Amino acid sequence: MTVLGWAQILLFCGIVVAVAPLLGGYMTRVFNGERTLLSPVLRPVETAFYRLAGVDETREQHWLTYTIAMLLFHAAGFLVLYGLMRLQALLPLNPAGQSAVAPDLSFNTAISFITNTNWQNYGGESTMSYLVQMLGLTSQNFLSAATGIVLAVALIRGFARTSARTVGNFWVDITRCTLYFLLPISVPLTLFLVWQGLPQTLSAYVDATTLEGVRQTIAVGPVASQVAIKLLGTNGGGFFNANAAHPFENPTALSNYVQMISIFVLGAAMTNVFGRMVGNQRQGWAILTAMGVLFIAGVAICYWAEANGTVLLNGLGLAGGNMEGKEVRFGIVASALFAVVTTAASCGAVNAMHDSFTALGGMIPLINMELGEIVVGGVGAGLYGMLLFVIVTMFIAGLMVGRTPEYVGKKIEAREVKMAMLAILVLPLMMLGWTAIAVVHPPAVASMGNAGPHGFSEVLYAFTSQAANNGSAFAGLTGNTFFYNLSGAVAMFVGRFWMIVPVMAIAGSLAAKKTVAASSGTFPTTGGLFVGLLVGVILIVGGLTFFPALALGPIVEHLAMQSGSLF
Using CB under 8 A, list all residues that contact another protein. Answer: 162, 392, 395-404, 409, 412-414, 416-418, 421-422, 424-425, 428-429, 432-433, 435-437, 439-440, 445, 452-453, 456, 514-517, 519-524, 527, 529, 533, 536, 540-541, 543-549, 551-552, 555-556, 559-560, 562-563
Cβ atoms of 237 and 230 within 8 Å: the answer is: yes
Question: Widest CA span of the chain, in angstroms?
Answer: 78
- Output the smallest distance, CB 297 to another protein, in A: 17
- Output the smallest distance, CB 521 to another protein, in A: 3
The amino acid that residue 225 corresponds to is S
Nearer to another protein, 124 or 428 (CB): 428
- Output the smallest distance, CB 560 to another protein, in A: 5
Nearer to another protein, 89 or 399 (CB): 399
- Output the smallest distance, CB 446 to another protein, in A: 13
Cβ atoms of 384 and 151 within 8 Å: the answer is: yes
Rounded Cα distance, 384 and 416, in Å: 13
Write out the E strands in 387-485. Answer: 406-407, 410-411
Burial label for 18, CB within 10 Å (0-12, 13-18, 19+), is exposed
Nearer to another protein, 381 or 427 (CB): 427
Nearer to another protein, 103 or 548 (CB): 548
- Output the smallest distance, CB 523 to another protein, in A: 4
Q: Which pairs from 37-40 meet CB under 8 Å and 24+ separation?
A: 38/180, 38/184
Rounded Cα distance, 492 and 149, in Å: 18
The amino acid that residue 100 corresponds to is A
Nearer to another protein, 74 or 558 (CB): 558
- Output the smallest distance, CB 372 to another protein, in A: 12
Q: What angle do CA 367, 368, 372 make, to 5 degrees?
A: 105
Nearer to another protein, 291 or 392 (CB): 392
Dihedral sign computed on CA atoms, order 246, 251, 257, 263: negative
Nearer to another protein, 69 or 445 (CB): 445
Nearer to another protein, 328 or 544 (CB): 544
- Output the smallest distance, CB 479 to another protein, in A: 18
Q: What are phi and psi of 168, to 5 degrees?
A: 120, 180
Nearer to another protein, 334 or 426 (CB): 426
The H helix count followed by the E strand count for the chain is 22, 4
**Which of 252, 162, 195 is closest to 513 using CA atoms?**
162
Helices 414-438/359-370 angle, 10° precision: 140
Dihedral sign computed on CA atoms, order 33, 37, 42, 47: positive
Rounded Cα distance, 443 and 301, in Å: 34
Nearer to another protein, 4 or 517 (CB): 517
Who contacts 558 (Cβ-Cβ below 8 Å, separation ≥6)?
Answer: 358, 359, 360, 363
- Output the smallest distance, CB 562 to another protein, in A: 8
The H-or-E segment that residue 2 falls in is: none
Instruction: Please state, in angstroms and as integers, the Cα–Cα distance from residue 297 to each residue in 72, 234, 523, 549, following that order.
Output: 40, 21, 26, 21
Secondary structure class of 118 (helix, strand, coil):
coil
Rounded Cα distance, 377 and 337, in Å: 15
The H-or-E segment that residue 460 falls in is: helix 452-467
Rounded Cα distance, 481 and 217, in Å: 27
- Output the smallest distance, CB 60 to another protein, in A: 22
- Output the smallest distance, CB 334 to another protein, in A: 32
Q: Find how far residue 305's CA is from the centre of its chain.
A: 24
- Output the smallest distance, CB 355 to another protein, in A: 18
Rounded Cα distance, 37 and 43, in Å: 11
Rounded Cα distance, 12 and 27, in Å: 22
- Output the smallest distance, CB 536 to another protein, in A: 7
Nearer to another protein, 150 or 427 (CB): 427
Nearer to another protein, 7 or 529 (CB): 529
Nearer to another protein, 265 or 424 (CB): 424
**Which of 359, 331, 284, 336 is closest to 525 using CA atoms?**
284
- Other C-beta atoms closer than 10 Å to the C-beta of 379 total 32
- Output the smallest distance, CB 17 to another protein, in A: 25
Nearer to another protein, 136 or 455 (CB): 455
Q: Classify residue 410 by its DSSP letter.
A: E
- Output the smallest distance, CB 451 to another protein, in A: 10
